[in-house]
Amino acid sequence: MSGKLDGTLKELLDNSKTLTLASGTGAESWSARMYFVGDEDALWVALKPEARSLANIRKHPERVTFTIDRGTPDVFAQGEGRAIVWGPVDEYPDIKAALVAKNPEMKAFLDAIPGVVLVKIVPEKFYVTDHREGISPRREVVTEAGSKRLPQSKYWIQVMRFFSLSFTTLAGLIGAGFALTFPGHVNWELLPLVLVGAFLLHVGTNLTSEYFDFAHGVDRHDTFGGTKLLVEGYLPPRKVLWAGVAAFAAGSLIGFYLTIRIDWVILLLGGIGVVAGYFYGGRPLGFKYRGLGEFMVFLTFGPLMVLGSYYVLTEHFSWNVLLASVPIGLLITAVLYANNTRDILNDAKAAVRTAPMSLGLERAKVPYLFLVLGAYVVTVLAVLLGLFPPVTLAVLITLPTALKNVKLFRKIQAFNSPELLTMDLRTAQLVTQFGVVFALALVVEKLI
């Protein structure tokens, strides 16, 4: 922005008390005039809890439009951007004071109506019209937020959490690794379907979990973790939910095909996977909100994935393979456990119950140690008992990373410590290292 355009927009933002906000789509479309305060980076408005505009913003935060004018058609600014539900206005006294200072008429409104909600509008473009010195073309102003907007496809990739999808692949490949030494026929042509089907169920879990965390107030603008793409208004929440449901449906179709090819055991394992994935965050079960998140993650990424992969390929059950699902399952569970430990305070605000929350920060350090080191203990014992091939002891090369993570976790004293804020990512890196080495060791065992 420069010159006269800067002055025109600044004049409107400084001197206008109200804006007209349009929200929603189709039959839900609605516009309302409201008081505001702010600048080209953020416009703040306060809405009744039952306001139709607020309901629309919750459903479609990714796009709102607005008009700021002086009551005459010669000078005005139109704009488009995102909307973020910030929270009860009383929790943000500085912004509330600024709203009242600019618009004294708001004091009676804010005092009389309980639960007024503060909403932040993030303008991405302004269209400024100024005809005071003659008819002139409308000028477009792209804000800093608008210039940083990415293509929608990139936001979808982020919300699917592709970095975590490697867990599914690794668990499936461990099951396939044990199939390498199976003495009978192996359905290797089905391995891609196994991995794609599991991949789809994992995507469905990530998408629906993201939606339910947003809908239940677990993810907010002031919490750490999550992609924040729904909170920040980059993606439409309902579309994320239905994309997750579609992923579950596609994965289920693959499961039905494998059931026809193999037997009913696949339907049982896949059915448990779908239920565990959707109701991980979905109500009425909401496993992750009832202290069962860690167990469901262990069950899904451990026995279900490893044993399921092996069973499809060999059409046989193996106790050794079931045991092999334990180390990788423990480590993947440790990722979630670290995440939930970091989020103890945030989850408490949202009435979410997790295993670390029931223990508290200090006592929560012990289970993390057992989850991480337990993976190595099980592997070593299984080798000593002749249940795993000796070459799987190669996973011990990742032990220094595991010990470093445990040491860092034990040193944590505050929820905002850098160690705790990054512990889930550190643990995820350990999962990748351990899983890759374990799977490659099984390949080497076949070759030698």
Tell me the average pLDDT of the chain.
90
Q: Which of 364, 334, 294, 303 is nearest to 428 (CA)?
A: 334
Judge if 252 and 370 occupy the same domain: yes
Residue 371 in this model has a pLDDT that exceeds 70: yes
State whether 94 and 187 are in the same domain: no
- Same domain for 321 and 177? yes
166 and 249 together in one domain: yes
Q: Per 3-state DSSP, what percentage of the chain is helix, strand, and coil (rounded to 5)?
A: 60, 15, 25
pLDDT for the residue 350: 67
Tell me which of 124, 149, 174 is where a domain ends.
149
Higher pLDDT, 352 or 110: 110
447/177: higher pLDDT: 177
Q: Which two tokens stand for residue 279?
A: 């109701």
Q: Produce one character per residue of 413-433: b if its CB has 16 or more CB atoms within 10 Å, e if not.
A: eeeeeebbeebbebbbebbbb
Which segments of 105-234 does DSSP mark as H helices, in order? 106-112, 144-147, 152-159, 166-179, 191-215
Q: Is 112 exposed, middle or buried (0-12, 13-18, 19+ CB in 10 A)?
A: exposed
Q: CATH code at 71?
A: 2.30.110.10
Q: Looking at 149, 168, 197, which one is the last position of a domain? A: 149
What pLDDT is attached to residue 224? 64
Domain containing 354 equals 153-447
Between these two residues, 181 and 246, which has the higher pLDDT value?
246
Model pLDDT, residue 2: 40
Is residue 135 over pLDDT 90? no
Q: Clarify whether residues 196 and 245 are in a common domain.
A: yes
Same domain, 169 and 189: yes
* Residue 275 shares a structural domain with residue 198: yes
Q: Which residues contact 118 (CB under 8 A, 6 or more apart)?
A: 44, 45, 46, 86, 87, 88, 89, 91, 92, 95, 96
Find out whether 121 and 82 touch, Cβ atoms under 8 Å: yes
Determine what percent of the chain is predicted with pLDDT higher than 70.
Answer: 96
**Averaged pLDDT for residues 170-196:** 93
Statement to judge: residues 317 and 437 lie in one domain = yes
Q: Does residue 314 share a domain with residue 367?
A: yes
Number of domains in the chain: 2
Encoding tokens for residue 414? 């505050």
What confidence tens digit (pLDDT) does each residue in 197-230 have? Answer: 999 999 999 999 999 988 887 777 767 666 788 9
Same domain assignment for residues 53 and 199: no
pLDDT band at 4 (very low <50, low <70, confident <90, very high): very low
pLDDT at residue 3 in the model: 41
Question: Is there a single domain that holds both residue 375 and residue 320?
Answer: yes
- pLDDT > 70? residue 277: yes
pTM of the model: 0.86
254 in the same domain as 166: yes
pLDDT at 233 over 60: yes
Which CATH number covers residue 408?
1.10.600
294-307: average pLDDT: 92
- pLDDT score at 420: 82
Answer with the one of 122, 149, 176 that is the final residue of a domain: 149
